[in-house]
Each structure stands twice: as C-alpha cells, then as structure tokens.
Amino acid sequence: MSALRLRFAVAAVGLFVGGLASFVCAAIVDSAAFAAPAAPAASAPDLKDAAVDASTPISRIPPDPAPMRERAQWVFDLRWARGEAYLVGVHKLDQTTPQETPRAMGRFALELFEGPTLIERVRFDFPLLGDEPRDGGIRPVPYFGKNLVTRIGVLFPATGRGTKLQLWDRATDKRWELPWPPVEGSDAAATAADGGQP
C-alpha cells in the first residue's frame, strides 16, 4: 500500500512541476510580447520591377531536346583507349516499331545539331570509366582511366535531320566530330579516327 501511495505522490509532484513550468514559459512569452512593439515587416520586392538581362544565359549547356522517335537506329561502335575516344564502326539497326530516344545520365554524349540548334542528345558512359578520382583521404581511390581500353555500342536515332554530329566528353569539355549522316562499315570509321579524332 505504501508503494502505491509513493507512486501517486511522485505522479502528483510531476504534474505540479510540469504545470508550473508551462505557466512560467507562458508568462515569459507574454511579457516579451508586451515589452516592445513589433517591428514592421519588411515589404517584399515587387517582381514586376525586377530587371531581366536577356543577354546573360542561365546555363551555357542547352537542355536535352524533345526525344526523337524513329524505327531505324544507328549503332555507333565507340572505343575508349588510354584517354582518347575512337569510332570503330557504324551499322544500322531496323527495329519493328518506332522507339523514343531514352534519356539517361552519363559523362559522354552524342549530340546532333541542325545549324547551331541542338536537336538530339544521347548520353552514355564507357564501361569501367569514371571521373578522375578526387582526394579520398587516407587510402587512394582506384582509377582505371589512364590505361583503360573499353568499348560500347550507342544507339542513335537514324533521322534525316541534322547537319553535324559530335561526341562530347563532359568531364574535359573535349569534342570530336563524327560523320553525319553516318556511313555504314568500319572503313569510314578508321578514316575518321585519324588525327586523334574518333
């Protein structure tokens, strides 16, 4: 019986202390509210008066254009060898139904231009190739890019549009010109690879 009374006493003391703390906090807040008049709120700037400089671009990289939808696709056989990109060959792939160009992230991109306007972009990554390592702390981060030789086939819509195709390395901002429209086979690719171009 004494244990039950002790519990009730502890509970009552707890409720009293909690109520007292709430009362003290409320009194402090009320006194602070009446102590000084509130400062007037700063007026928000009128966005209609803000000057917009149209000559300054938000980004120098244009966004991905609307994806093309083509039944035929070019397959660009690309090779990465010790820091350089090469075009090994190109062949055409005829699919049963039109396919929309998928959008993905990647360090590299095939970009098709019509004059100065970007009309298609396909991003991709070479297998095992990542960005150059940053400081990893105590242990160095492994990097295979210096001596890596790897290869990938990249699907690109076989459109009749476009005047210029480029392979772009976003990490180094290096660009290689590719033949457009492409010529099927590996001989044209070997010609394009001369002089460090893919």
Q: What is the pLDDT of residue 147?
A: 82
Expressed in angstroms, the distance from the first to the final Cα of the chain is: 92
Q: What is the pLDDT of residue 159?
A: 94
Please name the residue that has the structure tokens 């803000």: 50
Integer CA distances (angstroms), 42 to 39, 45, 47, in order: 9, 9, 15
Token pair for residue 167? 């392979």
The correct CATH number of 69-196 out of 2.60.40, 1.10.10, 2.30.110, 3.30.1490 is 2.60.40
Q: What is the pLDDT of residue 169?
A: 93
CA distance 44 to 190: 62
Give pLDDT tens digits along the chain (198 positions): 555 455 545 445 454 545 544 544 444 445 444 444 555 555 555 544 445 455 555 567 888 899 999 999 999 999 999 889 999 999 999 988 998 988 888 999 999 999 999 999 999 999 988 766 666 667 766 666 778 899 999 999 999 999 999 999 998 899 999 999 998 886 544 444 444 444
pTM comes to 0.62
Token pair for residue 157? 């819509």
Q: Locate the DSSP E strands across the chain.
A: 69-81, 84-100, 108-114, 117-124, 149-157, 164-169, 174-178
Q: What is the pLDDT of residue 152?
A: 95
**Taking the domains of the chain in order of start, what are their residue ranges?**
1-34, 69-196
